C-alpha cells in the first residue's frame, strides 16, 4: 500500500470511528457548472431575502479560495433520522432540529477529525464546514460518490435515503479520489414535487427557496408571513420535511445512534396551547442548545400565530 492509499484508508477509518456514516473524497476543483447554475438561481431571486447567498460567490465554486493549495474535498455524512416521532396534532418541527443543534455536534467532530489527521499524517492545512459557509456541499457529496441530488434538491443515498447532515473538509493533502455518483435513481417519480405544500419545487431540480416553508418559518426575519401562504403550511412551525417524508428512498431510513440527537421531550409532546403559553425565559432555557434558537422566541410566536390563522 503506497502513502496515498495509506492516508486515504486512515482518513476513512477515522471518519467511521468518529461516528460519521459515510466518507467520500473528491479532487478539489473549480465547479464551473455549479457556478452557472447558482448565478441563474440568484438572478431569478429564488433566495428571497437570504442575501448572504449572494456573498462570496467565488468561494462557493472554488475550494482553493477557502484553503490555499486545496487538493482534496472530504465529504462526511451523519444520519439524523430520529427513533421517535412527534405526537400527532403537535406543531410540526423538522427532524433535524429534534435534538442538540447539529452545528455544535458536527463542528466538534470536525475539529477532532482535523487534529487526528495532523497527529497521524503530519502538518496539513484544512478547514471544516457544516452548513454555515460558502460551500456547495451536496455537489461535493455527489462528486465523492455518496449519492445523487434528488428532484427536491437533497442528497439521496441509495442505502438509507436523505436524512443526513453533510460536513465538508477541504484540505491541501493529496488523497485517492472516489468516483462521482453517476446515476440518478429518482426516475419518473415526482412525489416531492406533487406534495410540496407551497409548490416550491420546480422542474430540473430547482428549488424556489423564497416559497419554501423552511424559508418562511426560519430564514424570513419579517414580522409577517405573506398572506398568500395562508392555509398552505400544513401545521409546520419550524422547517418542513414534506419532500423528504414522501420520498420513497426514505423508507430505508434507520434511526441514528448519536446520543446528542436524542429528541427533546418538549419537541415530541408539547401541544399548540403549551407552545403558545410558553414564556421567552422558558423558551431560552429549554432550547438553549437547540437549532430552534435560530428563529428566536419571536419567530416561533409569529409562526404559531400564522398557523392559527390557517386553522
The set of catalytic residues is 131
For 21, residues 6+ apart whose C-beta sits below 8 A from its C-beta are 77, 78, 79, 160, 164
What's the DSSP call for residue 187? T
| Nearest one of 5, 11, 30, 58 to 169, comparing CA atoms | 11
Per the CB < 8 A criterion, the answer to whether 225 and 48 are in contact is no
Q: Which three cell numbers stand for residue 303?
A: 409562526
Please count the other Cβ atoms lying within 10 Å of the Cβ belonging to residue 214.
Answer: 18
Give kind and range of the element (H or E) at residue 43: helix 32-43
Contact in structure between 82 and 272 (CB atoms under 8 Å):
no
Helices and strands: H and E segment counts in the chain: 12, 10
Question: 3-17 and 102-121 helices cross at what angle (nearest 10)?
Answer: 150
Using alpha carbons, list the distances in angstroms from residue 265 to 40, 62, 163, 185.
42, 42, 20, 36
Query: What sign has the CA pseudo-torsion 49, 51, 54, 56?
Result: negative
Cell numbers 455537489 correspond to what residue? 139
Cα–Cα dist 162/249, whole Å: 8
Angle at 202 between CA 196 and CA 205, to 5 degrees: 105
Amino acid at each position: 500500500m503506497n502513502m496515498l492509499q495509506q492516508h486515504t484508508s486512515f482518513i476513512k477509518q477515522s471518519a467511521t470511528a468518529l461516528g460519521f456514516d459515510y466518507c467520500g473524497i473528491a479532487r478539489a476543483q473549480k465547479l464551473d457548472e455549479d457556478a452557472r447554475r447558482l448565478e441563474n438561481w440568484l438572478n431569478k431571486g429564488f433566495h428571497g431575502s437570504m442575501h448572504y447567498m449572494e456573498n462570496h460567490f467565488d468561494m462557493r465554486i472554488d475550494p482553493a479560495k477557502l484553503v490555499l493549495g486545496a487538493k482534496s474535498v472530504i465529504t462526511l455524512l451523519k444520519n439524523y433520522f430520529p427513533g421517535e416521532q412527534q405526537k400527532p396534532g403537535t406543531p410540526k418541527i423538522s427532524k433535524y432540529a429534534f435534538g442538540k443543534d447539529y452545528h455544535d455536534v458536527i463542528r466538534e467532530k470536525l475539529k477532532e477529525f482535523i487534529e487526528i489527521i495532523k497527529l497521524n499524517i503530519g502538518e496539513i492545512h484544512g478547514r471544516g464546514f457544516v452548513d454555515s459557509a460558502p460551500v456547495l456541499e451536496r455537489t461535493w457529496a455527489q462528486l465523492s460518490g455518496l449519492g445523487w441530488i434528488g428532484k427536491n434538491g437533497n442528497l439521496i443515498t441509495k442505502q438509507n435515503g436523505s436524512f443526513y447532515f453533510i460536513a465538508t473538509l477541504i484540505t491541501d493533502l493529496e488523497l485517492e479520489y472516489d468516483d462521482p455518483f453517476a446515476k440518478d435513481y429518482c426516475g419518473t417519480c415526482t412525489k416531492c414535487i406533487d406534495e410540496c405544500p407551497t409548490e416550491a419545487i420546480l422542474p430540473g431540480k430547482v428549488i424556489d427557496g423564497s416559497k419554501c416553508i423552511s424559508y418562511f418559518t426560519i430564514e424570513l426575519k419579517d414580522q409577517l408571513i405573506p398572506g398568500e401562504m395562508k392555509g398552505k403550511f400544513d401545521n409546520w412551525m419550524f422547517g418542513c420535511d414534506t419532500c423528504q417524508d414522501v420520498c420513497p428512498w426514505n423508507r430505508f431510513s434507520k434511526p441514528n445512534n448519536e446520543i446528542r440527537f436524542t429528541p427533546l421531550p418538549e419537541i415530541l409532546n408539547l401541544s399548540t396551547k403549551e407552545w403558545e403559553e410558553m414564556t421567552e425565559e422558558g423558551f431560552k432555557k429549554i432550547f438553549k442548545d437547540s437549532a430552534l434558537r435560530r428563529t428566536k422566541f419571536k419567530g416561533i410566536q409569529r409562526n404559531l400565530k400564522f398557523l392559527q390563522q390557517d386553522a
